[in-house]
Amino acid sequence: MTPRNQDSYYSYSSGASLSGNPKYTPMYERYLSEKVKHKNVILFYRIGDFYEVFNEDAKTVSKVLDLTLVSRDVGAGRVPMCGIPCYAAERYIPQITKKGYKVAYADNNKKT
C-alpha cells in the first residue's frame, strides 16, 4: 500500500475558517483545524483514552492495522473513523510508519 495524496480531501475547507461553523461539532472543528495544518500526515487525534483518526486517514489506518472502520456523527453527518487506545500507540504506530506514512498527534484538550 502506498501513501495517498490527501490534499484533495481537504479542498472543501479551502483555507476558510471553520470556527463557528454550525455544521460541525466543536471537537470536529478542532480536528479539521489541525488536519489542515498537517495535510500530508495521518493525524491521530486524542479524545479521552483513545487516538481517533477520521476520513481518508481512518480508511488508511483501518487497512494497514486491520481495524474495524466505523463512523462518527460530526454534526453535519457521519464520517469514517477508527481508533486505537492511547496505551497501545507504541505498538501500532510503527506498523503505519513502516508502510511509509507520516504520523502526527494532536490532543483535543490542548491547542497544538
Q: What is the CATH number of the domain that holds 71?
A: 3.40.1170.10
pTM: 0.76
Give the residue numbers spanning the domain of 93: 44-107
Please state the domain count of the chain: 1
92 falls within a domain:
yes
pLDDT in tens, 86-102: 999 999 999 999 999 99
55 falls within a domain:
yes
2 falls within a domain:
no
Cβ atoms of 31 and 112 closer than 8 Å: no
pLDDT in tens, 28-40: 999 999 999 999 9
Please provide residue 40's backbone torsions phi and psi, each rounded to the nearest 5 degrees.
-100, 20
Sheet architecture: strand order including 70-73: 70-73, 78-85, 50-54, 42-47, 103-107
Q: Is the pLDDT of residue 5 over 90?
A: no
Q: What distances in angstroms separate CA 3 from CA 22, 31, 42, 78, one per listed residue?
A: 32, 21, 10, 24
Spatial distance between the Cα atoms of 79 and 75, rounded to a whole number of angstroms: 10
86 falls within a domain:
yes
